[in-house]
Structures are given as structure tokens and as C-alpha cells.
Amino acid sequence: MKFRLLPAALLALSAVSWADTAEEADERAQLPLDDLRTFTKVYSQIRNTYVEEVSDQKLLEYAIKGMLSELDPHSTYLDANSFDDLQMNTTGEYGGLGIEVGMENGFVKVIAPIDDSPASRAGIEAGDLIVTLDDKPVRGMSLSEAIEQMRGPVGSDIVLSIVREGNDQPFDVTLTRDTIKVNSVRARVLEPGYGYLRIAQFQLKTGDDLLKRITKLKQDEPNLKGLVLDLRNNPGGILQSSVKVADAFLNEGLVVYTEGRVENADVKYHATPGDEINGLPMVVLINEGSASASEIVAGALQDHGRAVIMGTDSFGKGSVQTVIPISEDRAIKLTTALYYTPSGRSIQAQGIEPDIIVERAKITALTRGGNFKEADLNGRLENGNGGDALDAKAREERSSQRDDLAARDNQLYEAVNLLKGITIFAKHGQDKSAGKSTQMADRTGD
């Protein structure tokens, strides 16, 4: 993992010596001396009179954590364990529950469960608030402390107390820790002509993995007509990987740009020539668990008119964090910039609004009951186009598969239907254009 290093200032609390002249000091922002004196007094009082002895190392660590946690929900101090966890997350393998989390009002908020993890299998949902971990209240914990609490030996259990919107009371969920191996990109053919790409999170190799999956998808379905890109419950990840994913479907133009206080925070990322699916229709699925890097991809494709965005409003994390090592095994994760979509939109605390809103719902197919069709009648005439019972059986199987998809994932079902509609409409337009061209040729011949 590559880290951007920023200059660091070292402040000695016990004895501060000033070597700068007054003129030199005036050239820089003045340090708040009165506030620093207040800090040292508080530090001294805690160190000397707190009911239990606390080491200087712990007190300074607490001070750093406090400074960062008060800035925003995503700036945090990374101790040795948290730093290791972060690096494991970006490479795609770590031990734990498989939950991407943030802080909200002192509680741990689930941004998204990772696919095929203990959390997703137990039914943990985006938006859930975790209020206790093994009966220990999370209020008062830092985010890194809560994450560390959720880590543990593979096979060990932990009880989460969950508050969920729509539920009157908190409820407990017991999860068994497992080794989380995140395959960031999955692909399959949904039905003839229509492909599906699922990105679980943006890791170091996600862009390269996506290109491999697209190549395999085109081999499996040479007559590809459209593609669904599923970014639901994708909590984000590495910005550069999201740029590479968006670039895979764009020929040119701005993908995203970032702006911050420091000079190197202002960066523009552009697409390179080459659309991996040659302009085929696309639908991008998002929901409230789609955050950060997911929103970069959705926003870029939406602004360029390259894809139809479907689902529900995304999470709304429009900030960029820089990991800044402060020692060999410790770092801070600091918000250093905001990002903007190609049209200049900031989605911070707003999210991406879908072009077509489709809420997640449970759909139950109506039974046919006593209804029947011509094909069910005894002595019916055969199909004049050569259709037979085999065709009818195949149609019945396809119908059953569609019903299963609608019941299992209505948003994906609607995405496929939209792609089919776009394909039919485009073909109809081509046929009409071809007909006009033929008529013009006939007139010219006369």
C-alpha cells in the first residue's frame, strides 16, 4: 500500500524551547500558546491526581485520539493493530466479522456487510447501529477500539446488540469470527445476452481484476447486449481503484477531482481511450450501503450519461482520507480533501440520487390457479412456425428463472428488464433507419 507522507510537527509538552526569532514566527500561523498552557495543566492534573496511575504514553495516545475523533467520523488514530488491519483490508484478507463501519452519535454504524462474511450471513444490514459488543457499551470507545474489539481468533464468538430502524427494541446477534477473504470482483451471465459484475469493495487490485472478469464474461457470452454493475453495499476503498473501474467504461473526460487545503490534495483524474464493452447499455445498482469509491464510479458514469443509475440514494461519503505514518507501526488516517464528480457535484452528506428509484422489496409471484393457456388444451393445433413441446418447456423454465430472480432480488430483476427495453428500443430505431435507407436507395434507382 502506498502512503502519502506529509510534514509532521513535534511538540514537546514538558519543556518548549523557541529557537525561532519573532519575525520567523510571525511568518507562520501562531501556535495557540494559551491553549497549550491549558492543555499542559490538564495533562499534569490527570497524570498526578487521577485515581489510577496512567502512563504518559497512554495519556498522549488518548489526546491524539481525541483530537482526531472530534474532526469528523473518518479521521482516526491507527495504533499498531489498527494499522495492520487497514493494510490487510486493502489487500483483501483479514480476520473478523466482515463489517465496514463508521461512527454516528457515539455508536458504531454499519456502512455495509461484506459479501459472504459472518455479518452478511447473520443478516446484519447497512444502517444498523451497534450499541454493545459482548455487553460492553460502544459509547465512549473510539472507532479503532470498537474495531479491535470485533477482531479476535477465528472460531470465537461475539455478541452484538443492534438497533435497527423499524424495530422497537435492540436485539442481539451472535457472530462467529472467521477469516475474511474478500474477492472484490465477481462476474456471471445472468441470462443470454446480459452480464453481471459485482464489486464488493475497492482494493489495490480491483481495477485489474475487473478487466479480467470482463474479458472472461465476453468469452462466456460473445453476444453481450448489456451489463449490470452492482455496487450495492460496497463501502468504498482505494480512490485510484475506483478511477480505474470508471475508466473501464469511459473513452474520455474527467472521472473525479479532489480539492483540499494542501497543494497536492488538488488532483484531477481523467479517463483514457477505450470502453471495455464498446458502449453497450449499462445499469449501475446502488443503495444506502454504497459509499465513497462506489459513489465516485456511480457519479462519473451518471454525469457522462454512460449508465443508468438504479436503486436508492447512496451513503454520501464525499471525503478523501490520507494514511500518514507517524512511526514504523502507527499512523493517522486524516481527511485531507473532498471529491467532486465530473459535473462539480459534491456528494458529501447527500449521496448519489439514482436516475430510477427502486426500493428493495420482497416479491411473491401469483400462482396461476385454474388459469390455462392454449398450449394446455388437448388436441391443440401445432405451432405453424415449427414450435414444439420442447420450446414450451424451455419457455416455462425461463419464466421460472425470471420469477426466482424477481423474488430473490427485485432491484436486479428491474435492472435486467431495463437493459432489455433499451436493447429493444435501440434495435427498433436501427430497423427504422435501415428501412428509410432502403427507400431512399429505391428512389435513387428510379
Residue appearing with cell numbers 473478523: 96
317 assigned to active site:
yes
Give the CA distances from residue 152 to residues 133, 161, 178, 179, 371, in Å, rounded to whole numbers and listed in that order: 12, 18, 9, 10, 57
Helix (H) or strand (E) segment spanning residue 423 = helix 410-445
DSSP state of 70: T
pLDDT of residue 181: 74
Identify the active-site residue in 303, 313, 355, 409: 303
**Residue 271 or residue 7, greater confidence:** 271
Is residue 87 within 8 A of residue 80, CB to CB? The reply is no
Is residue 200 within 8 A of residue 234, CB to CB? The reply is yes
CATH 3.90.226.10 domain residues, the chain? 185-357
Contacts of 408 by beta carbon, 8 Å cutoff, 6+ apart = none
Instruction: Give the cell for residue 123.
Output: 443478516
Average pLDDT, the chain: 85
Give the CA distances from residue 405 to residues 69, 188, 357, 358, 413, in Å, rounded to whole numbers and listed in that order: 43, 14, 18, 15, 6
- List residues bridging with 194 in a β-sheet: 191, 226
**Between 206-220 and 239-247, two packed helices, what is the crossing angle to 10 degrees?**
30
Q: Measuring CA to CA, which residue among 192, 222, 188, 233 is closest to residue 402?
A: 192
Give the predicted TM-score (pTM) of the model. Answer: 0.75
pLDDT of residue 9: 30
Q: Is the dihedral of CA 390, 393, 399, 403 positive or negative?
A: negative
pLDDT of residue 392: 58
| Homologous superfamily of the 93-181 domain (CATH) | PDZ domain (2.30.42.10)
Please say if the pLDDT value at position 8 is more than 50.
no
pLDDT of residue 25: 43
Cα separation, 15 vs 57, whole angstroms: 17
Identify the active-site residue in 161, 317, 319, 333: 317
pLDDT of residue 210: 98
Q: Residue 192, Cα to own-chain centre: how many angstroms? A: 28
303 assigned to active site:
yes
CATH 2.30.42.10 domain residues, the chain? 93-181
Bridge pairing between strands 226-230 and 99-104 = unpaired
Cα separation, 254 vs 345, whole angstroms: 13
pLDDT of residue 4: 38
Please say if the pLDDT value at position 83 is more than 90.
no
Arithmetic mean of pLDDT, 439-446? 55
Residue appearing with cell numbers 428512389: 443
3-class SS of residue 38 = helix
Please say if the pLDDT value at position 261 is more than 60.
yes
pLDDT of residue 7: 31
CB atoms within 10 A of CB 216: 13
Specify the fold of 185-357: 2-enoyl-CoA Hydratase; Chain A, domain 1 (3.90.226)
Please say if the pLDDT value at position 81 is more than 70.
yes
3-class SS of residue 235 = coil
Q: What are phi and psi of 235, to 5 degrees?
A: -75, -5
DSSP state of 117: S
3-class SS of residue 159 = strand
Give 46-54's long-range contacts (Cβ < 8 A, gap of 24+): none
What is the chain's length? 446
Q: ∠ CA(47), CA(48), CA(54), 5° rounding?
A: 40
Cα separation, 32 vs 44, whole angstroms: 18
